Amino acid sequence: MQESWGSYSDRVSRLGWEGASERPMAWRAPWRHVDPTLVLAACGLAVLGLAAIYSSTFSSLRAQGLPEGLIMRRQLLNLGLGLGGMVAVSLLDYRRLQAWAAVVFGAVVLVLGLVLTPLGSASNGAQSWFELGAYQVQPSEYAKVAMIVVLAAVFGATRASPGLRQLAAGLAAWAMVCGLILLQPDFGTFMVFVPILFGVLLVGGVRLRWLLVLALVGSIGVVGMFKLNVLKEYQKERLTAFIDPGADPDGRGYTYNARQALIAIGSGGVTGKGYLRGTQTNLQYVPEQKTDFVFTVVGEELGFAGAMLLLALLALLAWRGLRIAAVARDPFGALIAAGVVSMLVFQAFVNIGMTIGIMPITGIPLPFVSYGGSSLVSSFLAVGLLENVHMRRHR
């Protein structure tokens, strides 16, 4: 069993090593264990995103008489905020978050509740934003990261397998947050909370039969949402267009979106048409291209090679995250890493999957790549948590 911070400090004091470890240079010790590969992979994805966002927006901005790089520069500002948030999260010892998990949960519930009031604003059929001047903040994006911390605190409280009381507490917290998100309604974001939960439960050692029961209950719940008309009509249309493309005989709506995305990616070939030379992209045939369908820009203009580079960076990020979970000092750190990896991998799989026709169109952004400040900043906060766990694996 690893010794506690208190026992370590007592031992250092007895041996007279205070001057070597507790003085001004001691705070720098964790930075010696930064994982540069993790940061470089995330930054590489963000740079690809900046290039894709500029390519997908410069022609329309030019047509409107606006600066061609306007939207890309906004994303560059978001990137700066994300990097600053990542560093800030890395500075704070992640183990302190375990004691503050209840406060984090309360803050998330409060903010998600406020967004449903007149203080929030509606966009794309969901009231899930706060308007701050020219910028929008989506609290549910940050709630993903906060929920990872909360679940890790609940199920990582002991090294033993979680009992029914822990399971009930974790599920209650998760259900309350998810319920507020479904009230917006934002089914796409809600979907991301499912793999976060199961990723934490799986690594946390929850018994298999309980996981199977949860999966069964979840399946019944999804069917119930359709039968009870909980989902909005446009949300049902997204799923219908994926399951039965023939339901949209005119080729409009979400079937049109999926078809144009496939055309863009397929026309890229092996090496692509060249940066800023994509016809589908320049002619604005692919809807929501800088957000939901940003992968089509990479596929069309950089081709199979560019798409493989993006996937390789995502795989590298996931691998480093899994390694961090494996070498974490305590269960709390391991569960944080497991939750972050589950979140990022699921979002990437669904986003890329919907552009190539194997997943329904859900509005889930591609981590680090899609345009959007809340998504980019929250993704870098998640990387900051991974770095935090990795930096303190020896202390």
- Residues 92-130: pLDDT tens digits? 888 888 889 999 999 999 999 999 988 888 776 778 888
* pLDDT category of residue 19 using cuts at 50, 70 and 90: very low
Q: Judge whether 120 and 132 are in contact, CB under 8 Å.
A: no
* pLDDT category of residue 222 using cuts at 50, 70 and 90: confident
Q: Is residue 11 part of a domain?
A: no
Residue 129, both tokens: 């934003």
Q: Is residue 172 part of a domain?
A: yes
Q: Is residue 5 part of a domain?
A: no
Name the burial class of residue 96, with classes exposed (0-12), middle (13-18) and buried (19+) by CB atoms within 10 angstroms of its CB. Answer: exposed
Q: Which residues contact 25 (CB under 8 A, 6 or more apart)?
A: none
Q: Is residue 86 part of a domain?
A: yes
Q: Which residues contact 303 (CB under 8 A, 6 or more apart)?
A: 268, 269, 270, 271, 272, 273
Q: Is residue 22 part of a domain?
A: no
Instruction: Find out whether the peptide bond into 365 is cis, omega within 30 degrees of 0.
Output: no
Q: Is residue 27 part of a domain?
A: no
Q: Judge whether 90 and 72 are in contact, CB under 8 Å.
A: no
Name the burial class of residue 158, with classes exposed (0-12), middle (13-18) and buried (19+) by CB atoms within 10 angstroms of its CB. Answer: exposed
Q: What is the pTM of this model?
A: 0.87
Q: What's the structural domain count of the chain?
A: 1
DSSP symbol at 395: -
- Residues 328-387: pLDDT tens digits? 888 999 999 999 999 999 999 999 998 888 888 888 999 999 998 899 999 999 999 999
pLDDT at 8 over 50: no
Q: Is residue 4 part of a domain?
A: no
* pLDDT category of residue 229 using cuts at 50, 70 and 90: low
> CA-CA-CA-CA torsion for 49, 50, 51, 55, nearest 10 degrees?
100
- Residues 269-300: pLDDT tens digits? 898 899 988 888 888 888 888 988 999 999 99
Q: Which DSSP helix (H) or strand (E) runs through 122?
A: strand 121-123
Helix (H, G, I), strand (E, B) or coil at 128: strand
Q: Is residue 8 part of a domain?
A: no
Task: Average the pLDDT over 168-196 and give the result.
Answer: 90
Q: What is the residue range of 169's domain?
A: 34-391
Q: What number of H helices and E strands is found in the chain?
A: 17, 3
